[in-house]
Amino acid sequence: MMRHWQVALKGFAMGMADLVPGVSGGTVAFITGIYDPLLDSLSALSGEGFQALKKGQMREAWHAVNGPFLLALGGGIMAAVLALATPLHWLLEHEPTLLRAFFIGLVATSVPLVGRHVRPWGLDAWVWAAIGCAVAGFVTSLPPLVQSDHPLLLMAAGALAICAMLLPGISGSFLLLILGAYAPVLLALKTMDLTKILAFGSGAALGLLLFSRALKWLLSQHRAPTLSLLTGFLVGSLQALWPWKEAIRPLYTHSDGRVEWLWENAWPGPEAAWLQALALAVAGGLVVWGLHKVGASAQSDVR
């Protein structure tokens, strides 16, 4: 077993990534060496763990799902959400360019760290990577839809978003933004609207149980093509994190009067904070490299 504090620290990093549209917690899980153990534990929730639970074998069920691992990881993720949701969203509103610069360095550094697991890089691997790049580029270029807080929409959004959060390169929170559910989910959490929270949570739980098993099967049976596709996802998602954006047209107005704009990438002007953005991009890359080294050093402790 990996030390619980290491798992919690990686969970904290995953939670921080999942809060930001454009960054995936799955990327952090992969580069820190806990991606396969995470999929094993999640798929066991609806497999061996569920079977043991039906028989009343609580200890066996806890062992089957690697309970201490999931508990430490979930605790780290929740700690990040509680501690960083407010400051990160303040940064998204007031310093979006610098925040995107930090995360583009994080994701760009993740590309070779994921891609190095593809052996060999033949023609088929490049084809899968190109498909992943095209899919991620298309998804992250879609404009946000008009928002709705209907429970059925929130349930469907929860299922799709949790699937995206498991995939390196596809941001669950960005998908929520596209579906028009990002602000309603945040508002439900802020106001403790239990009906909407339950709808979103039940959809996320269902998506998690179903998709984790499918993804585990893909990685066990078709690992090289799957990792090639995920590497392409990372490359394609970079365009969404380009630091400098230009507002094109208003899409809709929030209930509090805020206007949601359609943005596109723009070339920075002469007044742009080049040095600050470059420094933060390098800092993001160093954070990823540090997480990777921590994951590599602890890899032998994971079973």
Count of helix runs (H) and strand runs (E) in the chain: 14, 2
Six-digit token string for 2: 């990996």
CA distance linking residue 165 with residue 64, whole number of Å? 23
Do residues 79 and 12 touch, judged by C-beta distance below 8 A? Answer: yes
Q: What confidence score (pLDDT) does residue 228 get?
A: 93
| Two tokens, residue 295 | 């994951």
The per-residue pLDDT for range 110-146, each reduced to its tens digit, is 899 888 888 888 999 999 999 999 998 888 887 776 6
Residue 1: pLDDT band with limits 50, 70, 90 = very low
> What CA–CA distance (Å, rounded) separates 209 from 43?
6
CB crowding 100-131: b at 16 or more within 10 Å, else e: bbbbbbbbbbbbebbbeebeeeeeebeebbeb
Are the beta carbons of 178 and 21 closer than 8 angstroms?
A: no
pLDDT for residue 303 is more than 50: no
State how far the alpha carbon of 121 is from the alpha carbons of 109, 131, 227, in Å: 18, 15, 11
Q: Which of 21, 24, 50 lies closest to 35 in space, CA to CA?
A: 24
Of the listed ranges 22-36, 92-106, 178-192, the one predicted with least confidence: 178-192
Q: Which pLDDT score, from 0 to 100, does residue 146 have? A: 60
Tell me the two tokens of residue 82.
Answer: 């509680």
Tell me the average pLDDT across 11-22: 82
Q: What is the pLDDT of residues 223-261, one digit of tens each?
A: 899 999 989 988 988 888 889 988 887 766 666 666 667
pLDDT for 21 = 72
Expressed in percent and rounded to 5, the helix, strand and coil fractions of the chain are: 75, 5, 20
Task: Give residue 287's pLDDT band: very low, low, confident or very high (50, 70, 90).
Answer: confident
DSSP labels, 67-96 = HHHHHHHHHHHHHHHHHHHHHHHHHHHH-H
Confidence of residue 179 (pLDDT cuts 50, 70, 90): confident
Q: End-to-end CA distance of the chain, in Å?
A: 6
For the segment 146-176, what is each residue's pLDDT rounded down to a tens digit?
A: 666 788 888 988 888 888 788 887 777 778 8
pLDDT for residue 29? 87
pTM summary value: 0.78
Q: pLDDT tens, 56-109?
A: 888 888 888 888 899 999 999 989 888 887 787 788 778 889 988 998 998 898
Cα 228 to Cα 131: distance, rounded to the nearest angstrom: 9
Give the chain's largest Cα–Cα span. Answer: 67
> Using CA atoms, how far apart are residues 105 and 246, in angstroms rounded to an integer?
20
Which strand (E) or helix (H) includes residue 260?
A: strand 259-265
